[in-house]
Structure formats: structure tokens, C-alpha cells
Amino acid sequence: MSLILASASPRRKELLAEIAKFTVEVSRFEEKANGLSAEDTAAYFAEGKAKEVLSRFPDSLVLGADTVVSLDGEILGKPKNKEHAAQMLRALSGRRHEVITGVCLTGRGFCKTRTVKTQVEFFPLDEELIARYCASGLPMDKAGAYGIQDGYPLVKEFIGSYTNVVGLPVDEVRELLRCVKC
């Protein structure tokens, strides 16, 4: 049975390539949170993406994933523009937040969904660093307007999975894939 990643994320592709062979089919699932908690949103979106791709490739295994950043219970999505990215980074500056990734592995007759949480604390960020980072364009396709892997001194510490913050909790995905073989 072939594995399909239901995501266009280059970070997810890179991380999954470390543990499995797969193809990519971008999901057409429409992401509408409808007032769910951050954890439920990540799980709902991951499952929705995976099931949408499975509907087109019913004889495959499909992995869907979605990452959300939650600050004080509010979900920070992807920034609309550089000003919005700067606003998010100011809100995260010097504070702790959660990064939650939902992963869903589905195939004919089964669907397993998990969420992984990582606590992340930012350094206090000055306006010059925020401006430089936003000008780089790096925040634009990332939840919460940042990537832990981007090489900027944003993250003071994290508690939990590094790969979760990047966008795919590799250990948990490996375990889901192992369970399919059980």
C-alpha cells in the first residue's frame, strides 16, 4: 500500500522523507475552524485533509497534518502580510505559547488521529529583529509567523518535540506508521 502525504509543505516533505517513502497529493479540504479549541482544530484539519485525499486515492495510506500556534487560547494562523506577521511576533515576544500539530493516518477501514503539543518560549524581540525577519519573507507561510528552523534568534526554549514545531512530529508519525503494520 502506497503512502501519500496530503500536504504541500516543504518542511513536512523533508521530515517525512527521513522515515518513509511517499508521494504528495495536496488536499482540497477547506480549513474552517468553527470555534474549536486549538487542539481540536489541529486534529480536525489533519483528519479532514487526509480523508479528502483518501476519497480520491482509496487504496492508499494517507497522512494529513496541520499545525497551529496558540497564544492564551487564541489560534495564530498564517500572516496575511508582513505587517500582520510583525504584529504576531510582537504578541509572542518574551512569552510562552503552544504549538500543536494534528496528524491523521487513514486508509480503507481505519483512521487514527493524534495531536502533539510543544511549549515554546520566545526571547524578548526588538523591532529591528522583527523588521529584519519579516523583510526576509520567512514568516509568510507559517502558523504564528515563525519557523523555529529559520535561523533567527526567536526561540529561547522549547519543551517537547522540535519536529512538531517545524510541522510534523516525526516520532509520533513513525509510531502511527508502525501501528498500520500491526
Active site residues: 66
Q: Where are the beta strands (DSSP E) in 15-151?
A: 23-24, 61-71, 74-76, 96-107, 110-122
Whether 120 and 177 have beta carbons less than 8 Å apart is answered as no
Which residues lie across from 25 on neighbouring strands? none
Secondary structure (H, E, C), 88-128: HHHHHCCCEEEEEEEEEEEECCEEEEEEEEEEEEECCCCHH
Give the β-pairing of 23-24 and 61-71.
Answer: unpaired
The tally of CA atoms less than 13 A away on the side-chain side of residue 180 is 22
For the chain, how big is the Rg over CA atoms in Å?
16
